[in-house]
Amino acid sequence: MENQEKLRCIGCGAIIQSKDPQLLGYVPQKTLDKEGITVYCQRCFRLRHYNEIAPAPLTNDDFRRILMDIADKDALVVNVIDIFDVSGSMIPGLSRYVGKNNLFLVANKRDILPKSVNDVRLTDWLKKQAKANGIKPKDILVMSANREYDVYTLLELIETYRHGRDVYIVGVTNVGKSTLVNAMIKHQLGLSDVVTTSRFPGTTLDRIEIPLDDECVLIDTPGIILKGQMAHHLNPEDLKFVSPKKEIKPKTFQLNSGQTLFIGGLARFDLIKSSKQGLTTYFDNELDIHRTKLENADEFFERHAGEILKPTAKGRLVRKEFSVKDKSDLVISGLGWVCVPEKATVAVWAPEGVDVLIRKALI
């Protein structure tokens, strides 16, 4: 165990201080005297009780430094990704942080994907995605932090691979690392919601250690912030659209060449050249999808953004054209995707900076 001499917030890992309310880890001296060693900092308190986030003055360099240490340790690294945003939740250059340690990949939030998706196929596809990203996990588990049985399996697999060593939970922000850690604590110790979780990116601020046995610890870490994630391009009240709580109900639209779909006011899909075909959309159920003529689409957006077309992103939408050869998904990282079954020329508009890509259809 490390840094035991420093008292840390059990919610976010920030080092506790009672001097400056504006700085991270603040706890009034009075509370500190009363609560002893298990305290939540003021930021966690607000997040947990009022769902309000105070911005943290940390940069990705701070977070990466925490991860950099792992390569020198003898540990098991559990990389959590969001199955709804696989390409957007892979850490670039992860193998550098893992070093010689064993890596175990956990694809979380399975509950969002339609139940009809085959898990074996999903795991197979994830294997290829991992390889393309330069990592070779010992194993891959598709799961949901909110399903008890999955958490049981996760704990068993961790025991199999950790060989009596510490376990680091790493990943991009918002993939559900802390939710997973909470589920494991609940399973082992019967305590609920110990670590702070939220739909705001950047909830966990520093390492949080939870004892696994007399010698080893499980360590939750702050998420790496990738600017291409949709969450960074939304207003806080709209974050629910990138963190669906329920299984996504796909919607199919029969579209002709020269038609456009608006995904709320957050993205746009143009079918430019194609025969008539049925396109299936996979987005949060509460995000309204509007169909218009491509030739009127610019004007429609200008007139209705923020009204019929809501919510809107913080920045402007930029266009990217794709040529679809066979059944493919056009993915707007973190927001969802449109499945195009047949040959077509299409354009996808997404907030500037958000990754848009084409992949072989997942479903």
Ligand X SMILES: Nc1nc2c(ncn2[C@@H]2O[C@H](COP(=O)(O)OP(=O)(O)OP(=O)(O)O)[C@@H](O)[C@H]2O)c(=O)[nH]1
- Under the binding rule (CB under 6 A), the answer on residue 202 touching ligand X is yes
> Which positions ≥6 away from 329 have C-beta within 8 Å?
282, 337, 338, 339, 340, 358, 359, 360, 361, 362
Separate counts of helices (H) and strands (E) for the chain: 8, 16
Our CB check for Mg ion shows the closer of 194 and 287 to be: 194
- Cis link prior to 236 (omega < 30° from 0)? no
* Selected binder of ligand X within 42, 79, 101, 198 (CB under 6 A): 198
- Under the binding rule (CB under 5 A), the answer on residue 174 touching Mg ion is no
- Under the binding rule (CB under 5 A), the answer on residue 182 touching Mg ion is no
Instruction: Please answer whether residues 159 and 119 qualify as being in contact, where contact means their C-beta atoms are separated by less than 8 angstroms.
Output: no
Q: Which does 174 bind (CB under 5 to 8 A by kind): Mg ion, ligand X, none?
A: ligand X
- Under the binding rule (CB under 6 A), the answer on residue 178 touching ligand X is yes
Our CB check for ligand X shows the closer of 88 and 269 to be: 88
* Selected binder of ligand X within 175, 185, 208, 266 (CB under 6 A): 175
Our CB check for ligand X shows the closer of 163 and 246 to be: 246
Our CB check for Mg ion shows the closer of 177 and 232 to be: 177
* Selected binder of ligand X within 112, 170, 267, 350 (CB under 6 A): 112
- Under the binding rule (CB under 6 A), the answer on residue 334 touching ligand X is no
> Which positions ≥6 away from 119 have C-beta within 8 Å?
110, 142
DSSP code at position 71: G
Q: Which does 202 bind (CB under 5 to 8 A by kind): Mg ion, ligand X, none?
A: ligand X
- Under the binding rule (CB under 6 A), the answer on residue 79 touching ligand X is no
Region from 124-132, 169-177, 227-235, 244-252 binding Mg ion, contact rule CB under 5 A: 169-177
Q: Which does 334 bind (CB under 5 to 8 A by kind): Mg ion, ligand X, none?
A: none
Between CA 170 and CA 77 the distance in angstroms is 7
| Shortest reach from residue 172's CB to ligand X, in Å | 7
Between CA 294 and CA 277 the distance in angstroms is 16
* Selected binder of Mg ion within 42, 108, 203, 243 (CB under 5 A): 203
As a whole number of angstroms, the longest Cα–Cα distance in the chain is: 71
Between CA 232 and CA 88 the distance in angstroms is 12
Region from 30-38, 138-146, 186-194, 283-291 binding ligand X, contact rule CB under 6 A: 138-146
Our CB check for ligand X shows the closer of 184 and 354 to be: 184
Amino acid at 37: I
- Under the binding rule (CB under 6 A), the answer on residue 141 touching ligand X is no
| Shortest reach from residue 147's CB to ligand X, in Å | 7
Q: Which does 359 bind (CB under 5 to 8 A by kind): ligand X, Mg ion, none?
A: none
Quick check: helix, strand or coil at residue 110? helix
Total residues binding Mg ion (CB under 5 A): 4
- Other CB atoms within 10 A of residue 76 CB: 26
Residues within window 209-268 making contact with ligand X, judged by CB under 6 A: 222-223, 243, 245
CA quadruple 17, 23, 24, 27: dihedral, nearest 10 = 40
Structure tokens at 349: 């508009």
- Under the binding rule (CB under 6 A), the answer on residue 179 touching ligand X is yes
Q: Which long-range contacts (CB under 8 A, 24 or more apart) does 300-305 make?
A: 300/260, 300/262, 301/262, 301/265, 301/268, 304/265, 305/265
| Interface residues toward ligand X, by CB under 6 A | 108-109, 111-112, 144-146, 171, 173-179, 197-199, 201-204, 222-223, 243, 245
